[in-house]
Amino acid sequence: MMQGGMSNQYELMNVAQNCSSFEPTEQGLVSSIGSNKSVSCKKCSHFKNYKCELNLYDNIAASLDQG
Ligand code: SF4
């Protein structure tokens, strides 16, 4: 199974959709045209080395879990 990463694709998208600091990279901007659903932390300019450089990710992910 694919456990053990800090997060999966689905969570990366969910977090980005609920993040007020999402800042699309150029690449993310292009690929999000026509589809808001494609936002993901992977397309956020604050996402570095698979981590949120603003340290928002964990909080948002946690609040989603508690939904
Ligand atoms: S990488 Fe950080 S700032 Fe960017 S959308 Fe994800 S949680 Fe928000």
The verdict on residue 41 lying in a domain is yes
Q: Is the distance from CB of 16 to CB of 45 less than 8 angstroms?
A: no
The verdict on residue 24 lying in a domain is yes
The verdict on residue 1 lying in a domain is no
pLDDT tens by residue, 6-55: 568 999 999 999 999 999 997 756 655 555 557 899 999 999 998 999 99
Q: Is the CB of 56 under 6 A from ligand 1?
A: yes
Q: How many Å lie between the centroid of ligand 1 and the Cα of residue 56?
A: 6
The verdict on residue 23 lying in a domain is yes
Q: Is the CB of 44 under 6 A from ligand 1?
A: yes
User: Higher pLDDT residue, 41 or 1?
Assistant: 41
Please count the structural domains in the chain: 1
Q: What is the number of the ligand 1 atom nearest to the C-alpha of 60?
A: 7
**In terms of residue numbers, what domain contains 33?**
9-66
pTM for the model stands at 0.78
**What per-residue confidence (pLDDT) applies to 2?**
47
The yes-or-no verdict on residue 1 having pLDDT over 50 is no
